Amino acid sequence: MIKKLFYLLVFGAAVYSGIKLAIPHYHYQIFKSDVEELAQLSAADVRPDEMRERIINLADQYKIPLKMRDLIIQADGGYYILVTWEETVNIFDVYKRTFVFYIDAGADGKRDR
């Protein structure tokens, strides 16, 4: 009985750890998709300050720790958007891992690192 409980505990810890590590990558993928879509908008349709506000709101929606200094927007007919941020995952105060995410999107094509 104790052996089964131990295996169940190990399995639960593995699932929990996997989910904690996967969530930042999931948020990165959906946020990247939305930023690339916004980069396709014309600078004549959306002012740069409105674009910055939309991206910050999206980051808040996906719980991405984005600061103003992490966001670069250039408008030249279309938009070029560069977003970088770091997210630290802490699992049971035993394992900490910092992920660095980059989104590099422009009206001329989608790019990311």
- For 1-27, what is each residue's pLDDT tens digit? 889 999 999 999 999 999 999 999 999
The pTM score is 0.82
Query: Rounded CA gap, 69 and 46, in Å?
Result: 21
pLDDT of 80 strictly over 60: yes
Helix orientation angle between 48-61 and 2-39, rounded to the nearest 10 degrees: 170
Domain positions in the chain are 2-111
Query: Rounded CA gap, 78 and 86, in Å?
Result: 27
Structure tokens of 45?
Answer: 């349709």
Average pLDDT value over all residues in the chain? 88
pLDDT of 110 strictly over 50: no
Percent of the chain with pLDDT over 70: 94
Tokens 């009206």 correspond to 107
pLDDT digits (tens, 9 = 90+) for 61-76: 999 999 888 999 988 8
pLDDT digits (tens, 9 = 90+) for 36-55: 998 888 777 888 889 999 99
